[in-house]
Amino acid sequence: MAIELPDLTTLNSEAVDQAHAYIVQRVSEYSPNVETRRGVLYDILFHLEAILQTGQDQYADVLRKSGSLLAVSQDPTLATDEVLDEIASNFRATRYPGSNATGRAVIVINQFIPSSVSIATTFSADGKTFTPTATFFGRTSQSQIVNSTDSLIKPVGDGTFYYTIQLTADAVGADGNIKRNTKLTPSTSIPYFVTAYAESSFTSGADYENNEAFVTRLQEGISSKNVSNRKTINAMIRDQAAFKSILDISSIGFGDAEQVRYHSLFPIASGNRLDIYTQVQPVPSTVKVTKTATLVGRKNGGGLWQVAILKNDLPGFYDINKILKSDVVDSDTQTGLEIDQDARSFDLSGESTTFLPDITNAAEAAYSCFQTSVVRFIDTTTDPQLSVGSTASYDLFLRGMPQIRALQDFVAGRDVRPTAGDVLVKAPVPCDLRLSFVIYKKLTDAAIDTDAIKKALADKVNNMGFVGRLAASTLHSVIHEFLNSTQTASSIEMFGKIRKPDGTLKFIRDFDILEIPNEPSAMVSPKTAIFILDSADVGLSVQNVDDLTS
């Protein structure tokens, strides 16, 4: 939309008066015999002309400033989207248009017969709608699976059956990203339908880049695109279409205490090592991986099973959200099996590139695409007659940032990586948050939308990037957007759990400012860690002040 003339009723009165006085002065100079102090000319004609002139001056000022990168950088509201796009084109920068969230959904039916979901069917969840990417068919036999739109119907174990389909959010934006197990409601009848829900987290939804965000990123558009410094690294990565929506990047190199990948005869930093911590999206995704586990023994009244998580199952995964037998369909009521051991390692074999990053231990490889793990868990339903060495299929729900492998392949490419060193891409060190506070209101006040507050808090925290500290005042400013002048919020207890690269856990807690600890030798610092908040982890209660005074 082009820049428009301002609303004449909103003009500054002092500016109008000054324009009025200027018109009177110039007309008096031009024609001294004309009565310019009162009457029709002074009160009507000159006054209206002053209003028009003030409006045009304001329009011209905005138009002039909107063409200045400096002025727009200081105030992104000066320019319309179209004007800023034209400015940015001079620096070969383009606005990110946003993207739709996608993911797989589980369709549960009560009969073991062929089923289908039409592309014309939409699904709704939390006010958002999703559409199948095609017409999907549930098949009762593996031999019937001939297309990508065919899905095998499997038993749930409770007399029902399920198959999966691919959905895409109808609207562009991060709001379409939903969590695993989110219930989905179809718009039309599906034969033998019982329920539907998200199998894994829906990801890839990103918001349209507004002027403020675009102006901030313009520095990268102006920068050259190489690995010479942090600005150019960011520009180089975001210049790729697949990585345009990356939220934040933190590069750790020579001179940074967090860079520990120096392996030589002498305990000194030799340079030529670059670690790129990348927050691809606001929150990690949860992905289901089906694995064959081996029975290795007995423990706590159940079978002790072992499974290997390979580097490409979910490159750079954080942790295991849940483990279930493959014949058990995941749901919120399923608690999952007890994890006994999660031993991380790394694997540099079979890589397409001949130049690999210098990694010597699991901690250095943590949250990279070279990370692997051997997991042991206890299944108390294991048949006691099974012998050690028996195998069974299990579903592991892994949590982590996407695109770590794709980023590693890009920045380590022969034409991209620094010729005198190596590059290692990692997901940020996670600091999972829990918040707890109370809102006080009058009994006669309308109900407070606590779900909206929780979501707003999560959105605020998850989009902060590598900031290193979270102030309670920041959270209070979000909360008070939903309260009236008589409603208040208590102090906020902020509790964080950090999973260090070596696998150990560190807990932090505060009511004022929660800070990421500075432990660079352990690769934990404000430069490497991010805060992650699930809205379900916001403990919010509402208390009527009338009850407190009665």
pLDDT at residue 1, as a whole number = 46
pLDDT at residue 435, as a whole number = 97
Higher pLDDT residue, 476 or 238?
A: 476
pLDDT at residue 242, as a whole number = 85
Q: Which of 312, 316, 314 is nearest to 351 (CA)?
A: 312
Report whether pLDDT(549) > 60: no
d(CA 443, CA 445): 6
For the whole model, what pTM was predicted?
0.76
The 10 Å CB-count burial string (b at 16+, else e) for 473-505 is: ebbbebbeeebeeebebeebebbbebbbbeeee
pLDDT confidence tier of residue 547, bands split at 50, 70 and 90 = low
Secondary-structure percent of the chain, ordered helix, strand, coil, rounded to 5? 25, 30, 45
Q: What is the mean pLDDT of the chain?
A: 88
Strands 115-117 and 136-139: antiparallel
- Burial of residue 292 (CB within 10 Å: 0-12, 13-18, 19+) is exposed
Say if residues 100 and 205 touch (Cβ distance below 8 Å): yes
pLDDT at residue 491, as a whole number = 94
pLDDT at residue 125, as a whole number = 92
* Torsion angles phi and psi, residue 467, rounded to 5: -105, -30
- pLDDT per residue as tens digits for the range 196-236: 999 888 877 888 888 777 777 776 656 666 777 788 888 88
Helix axes 230-238, 404-411, angle to 10 degrees: 110
pLDDT confidence tier of residue 354, bands split at 50, 70 and 90 = low
pLDDT at residue 64, as a whole number = 67
β-sheet bridge partners, residue 193? 109
- pLDDT per residue as tens digits for the range 475-495: 999 999 999 989 999 999 999
Helix axes 230-238, 211-222, angle to 10 degrees: 110
Report whether pLDDT(337) > 60: yes
Residue type, 44: I
The 10 Å CB-count burial string (b at 16+, else e) for 155-172 is: ebeeebbbbbbbbbbeeb
pLDDT at residue 275, as a whole number = 95
Say if residues 185 and 122 touch (Cβ distance below 8 Å): no
β-sheet bridge partners, residue 505? 499
Say if residues 244 and 226 touch (Cβ distance below 8 Å): no
- pLDDT per residue as tens digits for the range 186-200: 999 898 999 999 988
Residue 474, token pair as written in the block: 């920041």
- pLDDT per residue as tens digits for the range 28-80: 888 887 777 777 777 788 888 888 888 787 777 777 666 667 677 677 776 77
- pLDDT per residue as tens digits for the range 140-152: 999 999 999 999 9
Helix axes 211-222, 81-89, angle to 10 degrees: 0
DSSP state of 119: T
pLDDT at residue 236, as a whole number = 86
CA-derived radius of gyration, the chain = 30
- pLDDT per residue as tens digits for the range 412-436: 888 888 877 889 999 999 999 999 9
Residue with tokens 């750079």: 316
Where would I find the beta strands (DSSP E) of 127-264? Answer: 128-132, 136-139, 150-152, 154-155, 161-169, 185-186, 193-198, 248-252
- pLDDT per residue as tens digits for the range 75-112: 777 677 777 777 777 777 778 888 899 999 999 999 99
The average pLDDT across 319-338 equals 85
